[in-house]
Amino acid sequence: MPGMSDPTMQSLLGSVERVDGLPGLPADLSWSPDGTRLAAGLGDGPVVIIAAGGSPDAISVLAGHDGGTTSVAWRPRDADLVASGGLDGAIRVWSASGAHAARVQEVSPIDWVQRVAWRGDGALLAGIAGRALVVLDDDGITRRFDDHESTLTDLAWHPRGRAIAVSHYGGLTSWSPRHADGTPRRFRWKGSSLRLAWSPDGRHVATGDQDSTVHFWIMKNGKDLQMWGYPRKVQELSWDSLGRHLATGGGPEVIVWDCSGAGPAGTEPLVLDVDGTPLVAVAFAPAGRAMAAVTDGGTLAVWDMRAPISAGGQVELPAAATALAWSPDGRRVAVGDAGGGVSVAGIAA
């Protein structure tokens, strides 16, 4: 089902090239800081390094995680190191060039690692497994926070690295890794929070929830705001680079909230259609004005957020999308698909 694109629409999309034949479905994608390579964590286990400067090309296949890789994160300011987590309950740090062996950190004997994320300066790596949040430095685990009442579903660093927020059934918990005996801040909501995103200005944490709602937590005072009416559970969230707009999925349309001024309460969000099938991911470019979304129906859509109704573009992928990631300069976007491929689309300046 191709999305009908308005012929008068200014197309943002340049060429789209795809590498396929990967040994599994990309569950997560992460770009190298210089935008020349991509790490793809596959649901079947391996981590694949893809050269993405020109036509995408798989250059090495790393063992990854037995049972499946859930998360990959290229280390900030580092051309070589990629962290990954997976069903084997371990966090691994790989050398993309194969220059040295992977570092392995066993986190849990029974629970898998759901997500790994580096602090912005690349000095610390956080991961979640079961009810535990762990923080690693170059020597291994430096902090372990086990005090959660249910399994952790997502994690995000404060944009300036001051704290780590984790989501779970019952809301959010925020930890400060600098204080060994730090007490956490609890943000309670009687529901199952699935994903979270910390706004780049640090003011808000948004969560997507199982009960088809989105929550905005104001971190300063712990107040929250709930947005209803989503057709499905919300697992797709992205802040723009200024922290003003939040794009959400939770169904076939991208819903964009304006969180400036008094916040999104009572405001009308912008609603953008793609192809009528459920969204798999939405993401604002880390730089520039573009936003992208991919769907289960296999469409990549991009919008120029200065004029989202009239400027953008869509392209059909060969299979349902599974992951989405912007290059650090916002000039290219990578999409993983259920056909075992990764496409890289150029974005017109």
Partner 1 sequence: MTTDDRVPVTVLTGFLGSGKTTLLNRILTEEHGKRIAVIENEFGEIGVDNDLVVNADEEIFEMNNGCICCTVRGDLIRILSTLMRRRERFDHILIETTGLADPGPVAQTFFMDDELAERLRLDGIVTVVDAKHVWQHVDDAPEVAEQVAFADVILVNKTDLVDPPDVDRLEGMLCTMNAVATVHRTTHGEVDIDAILAIGGFSLEHALEVDPAFLQPTYPFEWAGVFGAGDDDLVIDLDPGPDEAIDLLALSVSEASPAALDEVLAVATPVFTDGPAAIASGGVMVPGHTARLDVGDQGASIAVHSSGAVAIFTQHGPDEFRMRFRRGIAPTEPAAARGFAPDHEHDESVTSVGLTALGDLDEDRLKEWLGTLLQEKGVDIFRSKGVLSIAGEPRRYVFQGVHMLMDGTYGAAWGGDERRSTLVFIGRDLDREALEQGFAACRA
Residues that bind partner 1 in the complex, under the rule CB under 8 A: 24-25, 27, 43-44, 67-68, 70, 87, 110-112, 114, 130, 150-151, 153, 169, 190-192, 210-211, 231-233, 278, 322, 338
Can you read off the two tokens belonging to residue 342? 């990764």
Say if residues 29 and 325 touch (Cβ distance below 8 Å): yes
Buried b (16+ CB within 10 A) or exposed e, 323-342: bbbbbbebbbbbbbbbbbbb
Between the CA of residue 331 and those of 193, 282, 326, what are the distances in Å? 32, 16, 8
CB of 112 vs partner 1, minimal distance in Å: 8
Rounded to 10 degrees, the C-alpha dihedral 276/279/280/283 comes to 130
Q: How far is the CB of 42 from partner 1 (least distance, A)?
A: 8
Cα 209 to Cα 262: distance, rounded to the nearest angstrom: 23
- The residue among 40 and 81 lying less far from partner 1, judged by its C-beta, is 40
Between 13 and 334, whose beta carbon lies closer to partner 1? 334
Q: Which amino acid is at 58?
A: A
**Nearest to partner 1 of 142, 210 (CB atom):** 210
Minimum CB separation of residue 287 from partner 1 in Å reads 30
CB of 340 vs partner 1, minimal distance in Å: 9
Q: How far is the CB of 150 from partner 1 (least distance, A)?
A: 5
Query: In the structure encoding, which two tokens stand for residue 176, read together?
Result: 């400060």
Q: Tell me whether residue 159 or residue 252 sits nearer to partner 1 (CB atom).
A: 252
Based on CB atoms, which residue is closest to partner 1, 190 or 220?
190
Residue 153 Cβ vs partner 1, minimum distance, rounded to whole Å: 7
- H helical segments located in the chain: none
Lookup result for tokens 């690692």: 113
